[in-house]
């Protein structure tokens, strides 16, 4: 099929490359000319494993193009995805300005030559499907286009995770499509290779051995829009729950990760998203919960659980500061090193990253903050020029003369750190492990005064040294 994807960010670029790899002819459009120029050269504008290789394979097949010209792309397409940003406004409401502009441009470009489907892939509040339909109509009536224009609007929320976006898009847990039957039929045809899993996996992105096909759930527009928000709210709440229990574990002398292993084995609960830590971040959870809360308020409903999910996460980031205060007492004039800046490993995305929140708070309290991230140092420097961080090129540079290290992002390469050498470089070898990444005993043997989240290292030490009864 002929496909246009509007917006070449984390979602649009991956969606475009995957659909082209599956055999569709895809044109990706963005208003940002510099992004399009990089994409035309085969470079991904974001750090996402396997994406550039997939783009190259899709381009070899002649199916992936990039342009700033929306009109001709729309006119030659059967399916037009909107994958633009929907960032939060100060009120918590989603900013739909980019979505509205995209919908108007689609309408202005349409003609009556074929039936088209306009797909909302951006995460949008309930009712946005209707809004898009109205704006597309406005777009073509303003331009006095062919009255025989036929189109449908679908909601096809995206569930990919940055860092594993290519695998998530090729092997999703489910595909959700909201819309009327004619619209859903077009989307079924588009996704048939994914649903039936009939394509050859690209090198380095193996198909999970258990995967035979992908369920496609057809729903109303409103249900599809709500599914995305509900899924993200649930995942954020699950992490928040793990953190709340971990905080209680610390106080009563239980070992948080053991407790999570114990509850995660219950098939009704499941083991994922239960690792206690400094809390979630990223461009989606916070913004989507705020947007859902805003929608609920518009309908006169106040959700205590959603609000608590936000509040618990904000408090969890503060937990690191408290742990530093317990160890160092005074933070003014101290040097704190942050291991990791990105909101999670394998991405350069810094949106709502816990590391930024922690750094800002420490700087406000008079500490000097250094940071080392294998990928996100440069994006952080350019996107947050006012943040007074000292960027380090190596973990050794970070540790040198630091009063404490805080692990915020669990990059795989941190497994290879020479912990005894780092501890020796520090003024005081304190390690706050914000992701329970290190084995406490290994960190202690390396010379660190170690604290994890929800880990009762003190009582464990007591148990070990207590004389046998």
Q: How far is CA 467 from CA 159, 461, 462, 463, 464, in A?
A: 52, 12, 10, 9, 8
Question: Is 373 a binder of ligand NAD (CB under 6 A)?
Answer: no
Q: How many residues bind ligand NAD (CB under 6 A)?
A: 26
Among 18, 284, 380, 392, the one annotated catalytic = 284
Collapse the DSSP code of 405 into the 3-class scheme (helix H, G, I; strand E, B; otherwise coil) and give the result.
Answer: strand
Instruction: Write down the residue that tokens 């290879």 correspond to.
Output: 416
Provide the token pair at 396: 């050794």
Minimum Å gap between C-beta 344 and ligand NAD is 10
Using a 10 angstrom Cβ sphere, with 0-12 exposed, 13-18 middle and 19 or more buried, the burial of residue 269 is middle
Q: Is 224 in the site for ligand NAD (CB under 6 A)?
A: no
- Closest approach, Cβ 7 to ligand NAD, in A, equals 3
Query: How deeply is 216 buried, as exposed, middle or buried, from its count of CB atoms within 10 A (0-12, 13-18, 19+)?
Result: middle
Phi, psi of 54, rounded to the nearest 5 degrees: -65, -40
- Binding segment for ligand NAD (CB under 6 A), chosen from 96-104, 193-201, 318-326, 366-374, is 96-104
Do 116 and 79 contact (CB within 8 A), yes or no?
Answer: yes
Query: Any bridge partners for residue 272, and if so which?
Result: none
Residue 158 sits in the site that holds ligand NAD (CB under 6 A): yes
Closest contact distance (angstroms) between CB of 305 and ligand NAD is 21
Query: What is the footprint of ligand NAD within residues 108-127 (CB under 6 A)?
Result: 122-123
Beta carbon nearer to ligand NAD, 111 or 168: 168
CB 168 within 8 A of CB 160: yes
Nearest-approach distance from CB 162 to ligand NAD, in angstroms: 5
Residue 8 touching ligand NAD (CB under 6 A): yes
Supply the minimum distance, in Å, between the C-beta of residue 16 and ligand NAD.
11
Q: What is the chain's length? A: 469
Min CB(40)–ligand NAD separation in Å: 14
Select from 1, 23, 31, 137 the one that contacts ligand NAD (CB under 6 A): 31
**CB of 77 or CB of 122, closer to ligand NAD:** 122
As a whole number of angstroms, the distance between CA 205 and CA 208 comes to 9
Instruction: Name the residue number minimizing CB distance to ligand NAD.
Output: 9
Complex with ligand NAD: residue 101 or 444, whichever CB lies closer: 101
Binder of ligand NAD out of 17, 19, 22, 29 (CB under 6 A) = 29
Q: Select from 95-103, 261-269, 431-439, 441-449 the region that touches ligand NAD (CB under 6 A).
A: 95-103
- Cα distances (angstroms) measured from residue 320 to each of 408, 450, 454, 462: 9, 12, 12, 24
Q: Does 35 bind ligand NAD (CB under 6 A)?
A: yes
Task: Pick between residue 48 and residue 433 the one whose CB is nearest to ligand NAD.
Answer: 48
Residue 63 vs 125, nearer CB to ligand NAD: 125
Helix (H, G, I), strand (E, B) or coil at 276: coil
* Interface stretch with ligand NAD, choices 129-137, 155-163, 239-247, 438-446 (CB under 6 A): 155-163
Chosen residue from 4, 5, 21, 30 binding ligand NAD by CB under 6 A: 30
Contacts of 71 (CB under 8 A, 6+ apart): 105, 108, 109
Q: Applying CB under 6 A, which of residues 102, 118, 154, 312 lies at the interface with ligand NAD?
A: 102
Does 101 engage in binding with ligand NAD (CB under 6 A)?
yes
Order of all β-strands in the sheet with 389-391: 389-391, 368-372, 335-339, 404-407, 430-433, 449-451
Annotation says 284 is catalytic: yes
Residue with tokens 């461009």: 283
6 binds ligand NAD (CB under 6 A): yes
- Cβ contact 99:124 at 8 Å: yes
Q: Cα–Cα distances in Å, from 278 out to 93, 174, 323, 351, 434?
A: 25, 29, 11, 15, 5
- How many secondary structure helices (H) and strands (E) does the chain include? 18, 14
Q: Work out which of 32, 78, 133, 397 binds ligand NAD, going by CB under 6 A.
A: 32
Residues marked as catalytic: 284
Which residues of the shown chain bind ligand NAD in the complex (CB under 6 A)? 6-12, 29-32, 35, 83-86, 98, 101-102, 122-123, 158, 160, 162, 283-284
């Amino acid at each position: 099929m002929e496909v246009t994807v509007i917006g070449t960010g984390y979602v649009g670029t991956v969606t475009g490359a995957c659909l082209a790899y599956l055999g569709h002819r895809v044109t990706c459009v963005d208003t940002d000319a510099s992004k399009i120029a990089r994409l035309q050269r085969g470079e991904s504008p974001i750090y996402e494993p396997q994406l550039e290789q997939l783009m190259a394979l899709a381009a070899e097949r002649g199916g992936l193009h990039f342009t700033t010209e929306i009109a001709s792309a729309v006119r030659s397409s059967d399916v037009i995805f909107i994958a633009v940003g929907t960032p939060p406004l100060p009120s918590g409401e989603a900013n739909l300005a980019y979505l509205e502009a995209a919908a108007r441009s689609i309408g202005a470009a349409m003609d009556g030559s074929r039936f088209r489907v306009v797909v909302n892939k951006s995460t949008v509040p309930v009712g946005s499907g209707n809004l898009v339909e109205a704006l597309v109509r406005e777009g073509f009536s303003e331009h006095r286009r062919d009255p025989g224009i036929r189109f449908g609007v679908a909601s096809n929320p995206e569930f990919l995770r940055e860092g594993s976006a290519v695998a998530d898009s090729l092997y999703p847990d489910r595909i959700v499509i909201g819309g009327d039957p004619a619209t859903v039929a077009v989307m079924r045809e588009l996704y048939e290779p994914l649903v039936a899993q009939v394509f050859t996996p690209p090198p380095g992105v193996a198909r999970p051995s258990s995967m035979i096909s992908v369920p496609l759930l057809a729903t109303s527009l409103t249900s599809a829009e709500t599914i995305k928000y509900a899924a993200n709210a649930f995942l954020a709440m699950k992490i928040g729950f793990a953190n709340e229990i971990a905080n209680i574990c610390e106080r009563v002398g239980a070992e948080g990760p053991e407790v999570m292993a114990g509850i995660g084995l219950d098939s009704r609960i499941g083991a994922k998203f239960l690792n206690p830590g400094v809390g979630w971040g990223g461009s989606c959870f916070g913004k989507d919960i705020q947007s859902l809360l805003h929608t609920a308020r518009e309908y006169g409903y106040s959700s205590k659980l959603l609000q608590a999910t936000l509040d618990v996460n904000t408090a969890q980031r503060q937990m690191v500061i408290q742990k530093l205060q317990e160890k160092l007492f005074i933070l003014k004039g101290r040097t704190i090193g942050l291991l990791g800046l990105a909101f999670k490993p394998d991405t350069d995305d810094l949106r709502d990253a816990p590391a930024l929140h922690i750094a800002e708070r420490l700087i406000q309290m008079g500490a000097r903050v250094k940071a080392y991230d294998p990928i996100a140092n440069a994006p952080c420097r350019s996107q947050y020029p006012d943040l007074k961080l000292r960027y380090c090129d190596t973990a050794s540079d970070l540790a040198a003369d630091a009063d404490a290290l805080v692990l915020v992002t669990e990059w795989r390469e941190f497994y290879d750190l020479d912990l005894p050498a780092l501890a020796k470089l520090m003024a005081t070898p304190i390690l706050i492990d914000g992701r329970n990444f290190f084995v406490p005993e290994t960190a202690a043997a390396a010379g660190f005064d170690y604290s994890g989240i929800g880990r009762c290292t003190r009582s464990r030490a007591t148990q070990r040294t207590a004389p046998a009864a």
